Amino acid sequence: MRDAACAAIVDRFREDRRTALVLADISLDRLEPAFRHDPSRVVNVGIMEQTAVGVAAGFALEGFRPIVHTLAPFLVERPFEQLKLGFGYHRQEGLFVSAGASYDYSKCGLTHHAPGDVAALATIPGMEGIVPGTAREAADAVRRSHGNGRATYLRTSVSENSTEWELAPGGLTKLRTGAALTVVAVGPMLDRTLAALDGIDATVLYATTVLPLDAASLVAEAAPATDVLVVEPFAEGTLAAQVSAALSHRPIRLVSHGVPREVFPRYGTVEDHDRAHGLDARGIRERVLALLAA
């Protein structure tokens, strides 16, 4: 997914002379063609993420369409105020493509984890958030969002779905219709969620745009049943406010199933962390069954 996103970034860089690329010593090999194409529009500031986003804001203030790419904690959390001021308050356009979602860098420990990225960005007015589930979706998202006139966060991850789906324009796509409950599966959570729902009569909505969540589609497509489960690859409850607001016209019982908001000082593999947090198919199914039985 990261490779596909970087290739799409290079394509946009070549196609659009207003593209500026700002890097912080990450993915230089993948993005090297941009340096060769037009070094005046690409800057590697070094390991300086606050400066990277500030530099991107400077490009934006001069009419460029900057793209910034680095790892999620260093693209969102460290330069958060630069994003808020330089792009949110200034209402500037920029595309922020992260790698290393949640605990993708599980072996590096907590300093390289960022499950709170989307929740933090949700507080910036106008910020768009895209969480693709496949490499193709990531590349398409780069092409679709770059040049859209707004600030967009694109969250790539090492976890991917195996199936390509035709996505709805608003980024909330109905894949199955069922009566027992509504399940919203976000980005790379889809495959495991579908596996977890084997034999369960659920409506399944696939969310790839999460900021904003397509409220109109959620209202139109959600099952009449009260129970709603959100399976999210980031901090548990990140989308709860949006789902609650969208469905506020009727009673619901909302359960958020994501990365627990706790310090989890473990290493190991991504799969180890998925299992520990109940974010594998088995854990998701247990949560669904518990919800239906309660």
Binding site for other proteins (CB under 8 A): 20, 22, 38, 40-41, 43, 45-46, 48, 50-51, 53-59, 61-64, 81-82, 85-86, 89-91
- Phi-psi domain of 258 (left: phi exceeds 0; alpha: psi -120 through 50; beta: other): beta
DSSP output for 194-263: HHHTTT--EEEEEESEEET--HHHHHHHS-SSSEEEEEEEEETTTTHHHHHHHTTTS--EEEEEEE-SS-
If the CB atoms of residues 46 and 109 are measured against other proteins, the closer one turns out to be 46
Strand ranges, E, within 49-188:
65-71, 94-99, 128-130, 151-155, 172-176, 181-186
**DSSP-derived secondary structure letter, 161:** -
User: Smallest distance from the beta carbon of 27 to other proteins, in angstroms?
Assistant: 18
If the CB atoms of residues 82 and 256 are measured against other proteins, the closer one turns out to be 82
If the CB atoms of residues 87 and 234 are measured against other proteins, the closer one turns out to be 87
User: Smallest distance from the beta carbon of 51 to other proteins, in angstroms?
Assistant: 4
If the CB atoms of residues 51 and 176 are measured against other proteins, the closer one turns out to be 51
Query: What distance in Å separates the CA atoms of residue 254 and residue 258, rounded to the nearest whole number?
Result: 13
Cis peptide before 212 (omega within 30 of 0): yes
User: Smallest distance from the beta carbon of 62 to other proteins, in angstroms?
Assistant: 4
User: Smallest distance from the beta carbon of 28 to other proteins, in angstroms?
Assistant: 15
If the CB atoms of residues 61 and 216 are measured against other proteins, the closer one turns out to be 61
User: Smallest distance from the beta carbon of 125 to other proteins, in angstroms?
Assistant: 13
Query: What distance in Å separates the CA atoms of residue 10 and residue 29, rounded to the nearest whole number?
Result: 12
Calculate Rg over the CA atoms of the chain.
19
If the CB atoms of residues 150 and 282 are measured against other proteins, the closer one turns out to be 150
User: Smallest distance from the beta carbon of 60 to other proteins, in angstroms?
Assistant: 8
